[in-house]
Structure 1
């Protein structure tokens, strides 16, 4: 709807002259922000998986003194809101010169998402038979080969679920990019939508169209992978 139609009184229940022009204009404006969102989301996913895939294997198949304490620490981190640690992280990242960079945002998001991924994968990898690992050790395989060749393939549904959830969380995050990125050209679409909110008014048609564009990637992922998420989160939950 045009601006005149939006503010028409009485309001229209059905747009008198519907048009997709504002979707096109919003997409052109938001393309740089969409690119930044994909960089941040995929970067966070890669870093999270790089750390989170070996960790639950160690926590489930090895015995060491601080095992229970580490599990408690992971659960504790999950209870912390972003707002509780955003200022300390900002001060640390300022000294490390990671402000105004995609890597800084990726690293900050991974601080929260790595424990989340480890907790989910840990509960899944418990169901991997220890007999397979022992047989591989007898055959001379090292732990790295066992992880890559046995544990990860058997944990594929859980890894797929974690990957999808981590991507969605990184795509939709608002507070971390807002705190860590000041340059407009580096900001993701979650902040880029504010380009349609000006000092003297709001471009409601472009803002609503941009919001729909913002929701398309998570919506597509949820529709295509919804069953995989449920299957991955419930697999290994019961022993028969």
Structure 2
């Protein structure tokens, strides 16, 4: 159904299915196609030549640039038409030529993007990826299926992440990193395959971490990467850091929980 730009902000050449649910403040650019099961919240702008299909829900005040494909079926041979979903939160920026697929019945059935994320051109989110809040994905970051990305993660350009890998909050990859293992919170990594280089101390300072919390993160880095400990030994060392660094209790809990849920077959970046 084509509606007048002066009334709804939908360009006359856009094809918006009559069953789609778009807030009256949504803007849709020329030649964009929006399917019947799509919902778009207030203040979101959608550029030209986009295709938004499937059971896709997009929140408020997102800025979606031209030439994006959102909500297409997963690149999974097992997919048989199930009504899986793509859910995008609020205030995200999605630059050109990104591809976000819906989920698959082999997982939760939902690919999810949180709030306030900055996603640059040519990023791919495969089925069942779970992306948190305040992340930055640089150009050509590629996530295989079932990848989980925590809050405040930064992916350098051309980062490639293997399926089922987890990236902890505040972690960061350098350009052209190749992740086959879980990346713990706070860790900066680089290489093919990726290896740990340091902790994201400057990012933590910019986010208001106190000196005591940063000192605890430094101690975590030492336990994981500088003292030749096994992972189990490192976990015990990290769990005891709250005695010396009480302000970092939540940071320590986040790290120990992440390590507790690491697959022994995959391990962590070390």
Q: TM-score, normalised by structure 2?
A: 0.21
Normalized per residue, which structure has more strand?
2
User: Could you say which structure has the greater relative contact order, defined with CA pairs below 8 angstroms and 6 or more residues apart?
Assistant: 1
Larger radius of gyration: 1
Q: TM-score, normalised by structure 1?
A: 0.23
Normalized per residue, which structure has more helix?
1
